[in-house]
Structure 1
Amino acid sequence: MKTFPKLLVIITLFLLFITPQDLFSQGPPPWAPAHGYRAKTKHIYFPDQNFYFDLEKRVYLYLNNGSWSISASIPSVFGTINLNTARKVELEIGGHTPYQYNEQHKITYKKSKKVKKEKKGKGPKH
C-alpha cells in the first residue's frame, strides 16, 4: 500500500506540469485596460465601430442585421481593426447587456472627428 501514495503524488505532479498555463490565467485580452481598472471595468466599448467586449464572459457583443449578437471571437466585420490602437471606453455597467444603453453610448462617445488645422501663413510675398 505504500506505492499508492507515491503514485498519487507522481500523478498530481505530472498533471500540474502538463496543464497549460493559460488555464489558470484567464485574464482579459492584451488590449484590455491595465490591472488597476479591471476590478471596476465590466465592458469595453468601441465607439468608432459600435460594439462591446464583455470582460467577464470574454465575448464580443455587436449589432447584426438589427439585433445584438454574441461571438467568442471578433466578428469578421471588425476583423481588420487593430484592437490595440482602436479607441476604447471602459464601462462599469453591471450585467451582461451593455447594449441596452447603446443609444446613449453612441451620443456620449461619438466618433471622433479630426479637425484639420490650417497653418497660419504670412501671406504672399510682393
Structure 2
Amino acid sequence: MKMFPLKTKKQFLILAFLLLFCIPQDLFSQGPPPWAPAHGYRAKTKHIYFPDQNFYYDIEKGVYLYLNNGNWSVSVSLPSIFGRINLNTARKVELEIGGHTPYQYNDKHIIAYKKPKKEKKQKKVKERKH
C-alpha cells in the first residue's frame, strides 16, 4: 500500500511546493500570548522584559529567555521556575532591541528597570507653639 495517493514524483513535488511556499507560515500559529502588547505596538516591540523576575519573551520567535545556572536558556513554554507568575499582571517592559539576544544588555536592564522602592509614610508631627 502506497503512503501517498500521488502517482508521480512531479505531483509530490508540486504538493510539497504548495505546502511550503503558498500557505502562510503563521496560518497554524496561535499568535502571541494574551499578555503581549497590542498589535499596534508589536511592530516596534521585539521583546518583553519581566524585570521583577529577570527574564525575556521574544515575540518574533515565541520563546522565553531566562537565566539557568548562570547561562541564558531558551524555552517555548514558561519555565517552571516562573510557573506561579501571572503574566497578565506582572510588571513588563517593551523593548525595541533588534536580534534575538536582548540579554546581552541584561546588566543595564536590571539597573534601568529595578523595582521601585515603596516610599515610607512619614508620620505627621504637629508642631507645638511655645
TM-score, structure 1 length as denominator? 0.73
Deviations for 1:72-119, whole angstroms, at most 9, x for unmatched residues?
Answer: 110111100000000000000000000000000001101222224346
Q: Which residue in the other structure is 2:110 paired with?
A: 106
CA RMSD between the two structures? 1.9
Q: Which residue in the other structure is 1:43 paired with?
A: 47
- Point out where structure 2 has 5 or more consecutive residues left out of the alignment: 1-25
| Contact map agreement 1:48 1:112 (CA 8 A) in 2 | no
SS in 1 for 2:65: strand
CA distance in 2: counterparts of 1:97 and 1:71, whole angstroms: 14
| Contact map agreement 1:42 1:54 (CA 8 A) in 2 | yes
Kindly indicate whether residue 124 of structure 2 is the aligned counterpart of residue 92 of structure 1: no
| Contact map agreement 1:62 1:69 (CA 8 A) in 2 | yes
Runs of 4+ in 1 over 6 A off after TM superposition: none
SS in 1 for 2:116: coil
CA distance in 1: counterparts of 2:75 and 2:88, whole angstroms: 19
Q: How many residues align?
A: 102
Superposition map of 1:3-82 within 5 A? 23-24=27-28, 26-82=30-86
Q: Write the letter of the residue equivalent to 2:82.
A: F
Q: Write the letter of the residue equivalent to 1:111.
A: K
Q: Write the letter of the residue equivalent to 1:64.
A: N
Identity over aligned pairs, percent: 82
- Point out where structure 1 has 5 or more consecutive residues left out of the alignment: 1-21
| Contact map agreement 1:47 1:88 (CA 8 A) in 2 | yes
CA distance in 2: counterparts of 1:119 and 1:81, whole angstroms: 35
Q: Write the letter of the residue equivalent to 2:64.
A: Y
TM-score, structure 2 length as denominator? 0.71
